[in-house]
Structure 1
Amino acid sequence: MNPSQKRPVVYAGDVVVDHAAANSEPVGVSLGEDHVPTPREKVHEVLRVFKEVFTQLDREKQARRGGDLYEATARIDLKTQVFLEKEGKHVNTPNRIGQVPGIEVGDEFQYKAELRVVGLHFRTMSGIDYVEVEGVKLATSIVSSERYDFDDKFDADVAIYTGEGGNVISKEKKAEDQKMIKGNLALANSMKHKREVRVIRGGERWDGKGKHYVYTGLYLVDKYWLEKGVSGKSVYKFKLCRIPGQPPLP
């Protein structure tokens, strides 16, 4: 599908499936015995299975309400991710730098767990994903947010991204200055080695019901600096510029 075309987004929870469908056989696209699924078809199939499994687990969760508190409140998206990975129903592994097969600019997702099962962003609990190449940490992707706590910004083809660490958004831990380690170091190294970084923009859904994530393409880290964050502690800021020649942003 042309990424510039407006296409409807179906979120997990909107699809009704039975238990058998949620536990179906390994991922495949039914287009004839001789058909070899394209990377795009594989991604669509993984997301379809994700939604089916999510819906079934959500039904079971609703049925358990009033019973075991943990089971009734457990993160269904993460449980769905674990199920798919256990059954081998995920694509584009291991993590990589650059474009991910089957993913297009403008693709939307409701959960970070979906980003993981299609190979777009693997560290669901962190905004910066990275790999180590010959002993050097290099960023593969970031998930940006425009929440007040982060103060990330998008302006045309430029993204200003707040680094990780320092407990800057935790209400239970004391805020600290961010350090040039882990994901922050990976972004700095990506700038030094001129390696592209995938950017996923997080924000509120159009209907106000939770978040969604939009893949905006490949960027290069232009520069970074330290400044005082909203917590009063020092945070790293990274300026990323979108690589020309990609499909337009939605």
Structure 2
Amino acid sequence: MAPIKENQMSDYELQRVKNMEENRRILESIRQEQIYKFEALQPAVVKKKERKPTEARPKKKPRLETEGQGSVVDDGRRKSSRISGKAPDRSKGIGDDDTGDEDYEAEYDDDSDEEDGEGRKRKRVRGPQHKVIIPKNRPNFYGAVPGVEIGRIWEMRMECSRDGIMRPPVAGIHGGPEGAYSIALSGGYEDDMDLGDCFTYTGEGGRALKGTKAKPKNLRTAPQSKDQTLTKGNLALSLNIETRKPVRVIRGYKADTEFTPEFGYRYDGLYTVEKYWLCVGKSGFKVFKFALRRCPNQAPPPWVTDKQKKTEELNETKEGEDDKENRDGSHNPTPSSE
């Protein structure tokens, strides 16, 4: 197939090619550890909406207790004559978050479908429901999580949250006062570039909060409807450049690159944010781009160790075949011709 000429490409394709070339240039320069100077972007000021005064509602009169029915007393608590004398049921519902408890449970179903970045549904194997107990009131911190090795894979984001690698179960950026604690790569933007040891990451925001007409509740795949601002997660990632705080990175199965796990979400180690800038995204609105580079003095990344394991397995298989051929040759010697 003949390559598409530049004058035959649409504006979207031209912009995407331009973004990809710029991303590759920046990542290659970061690999060489060059120092860049760029204009510091000022954080956007979010205006608070004025709340309308509300009229005080009249208090409801207490109802009289009737046999077999509950009653509401002045202190607002509900009583019931049917269960009087019985201990109350203190079991918590699914996903309830009680600030008085040290832990809370989240429940998900294995047979639920999960949508990828392009709106396609990934069919999951039907199975029982699982409960993930997530500790509460955990202090946030930067850097590696003790006991979690590089290359570990979780099936669900909720499990990443439980183990403290990526605590938000949905958001792509977990921000803090001195920078982002962690981010998740899930292939949300097709013009992002991933070279393994360094990659570009598109910021958050700028999507329609009401979703689309076909998918009103699916906010992750909604099209860009306005420019992104330097707030929340974007602001946090920009602070990592100044504070040099490392960022924990997980890669999800949705990102279609050679460094993506075949399933689930994998912890790939610590990265530093080296640069950020504004550019025009695929929808024509401005988006933030961040360039990250893997920190040195860590365990090898999973794609390196996986390649080493495959090479060792191939060598062992080849050695086993050679040994078998040698044994077969010793038991069945070729008769000499006289």
TM-score band (shorter)? 0.5 to 0.7
TM-score by length of 1: 0.58
Match of 2:288 in 1: 236
CA drift of 1:167 comes to 0.6
Matched, 1:80 2:131: yes
Paired amino acid for 1:154: D
Q: Is the 8 A contact 1:163 1:236 kept in 2?
A: yes
Match of 1:224 in 2: 276
Matched, 1:141 2:182: yes
Match of 2:174 in 1: 129
Distance 1:144 1:101 in 2: 22
**Residue ranges of structure 2 left out of the alignment (5+ in a row):** 1-104, 113-126, 217-221, 257-261, 303-338
Match of 1:193 in 2: 243
Label 1:117 to 1:142 Cα distance change in 2 as closer, same or farther (>3 A): same
Q: Is the 8 A contact 1:144 1:152 kept in 2?
A: no
Paired amino acid for 2:141: R
Provide the aligned C-alpha RMSD in A. Answer: 3.4
CA drift of 1:150 comes to 5.3
Paired amino acid for 2:183: I
Paired amino acid for 2:238: A
After the TM superposition, which residues 1-250 of structure 1 pair with which residues of structure 2 at under 5 Å, given as runs? 80-81=131-132, 84-85=133-134, 88=135, 93-132=138-177, 137-147=178-188, 149=189, 151-167=191-207, 170-171=211-212, 172=216, 175-204=225-254, 212-250=264-302
Paired amino acid for 1:125: V
Which structure has the higher relative contact order (CA within 8 Å, separation 6+)?
1
Q: Secondary structure at the match of 2:194?
A: strand
TM-score by length of 2: 0.44
Q: Is the 8 A contact 1:77 1:111 kept in 2?
A: no
Paired amino acid for 1:80: K
Distance 1:239 1:168 in 2: 25
Q: Which runs of 4+ in 1 moved over 6 A?
A: 76-79
Distance 2:233 2:130 in 1: 25
Which structure has the bigger radius of gyration?
2
CA drift of 1:203 comes to 1.9
CA drift of 1:125 comes to 2.3
Paired amino acid for 1:176: K
Distance 1:168 1:142 in 2: 21
Paired amino acid for 1:181: T
Q: Secondary structure at the match of 1:154?
A: coil
Q: Is the 8 A contact 1:98 1:196 kept in 2?
A: yes
Label 1:247 to 1:107 Cα distance change in 2 as closer, same or farther (>3 A): same
**Residue ranges of structure 1 left out of the alignment (5+ in a row):** 1-48, 62-75
Q: Is the 8 A contact 2:187 2:255 kept in 1?
A: no
Total equivalences in the alignment:
169
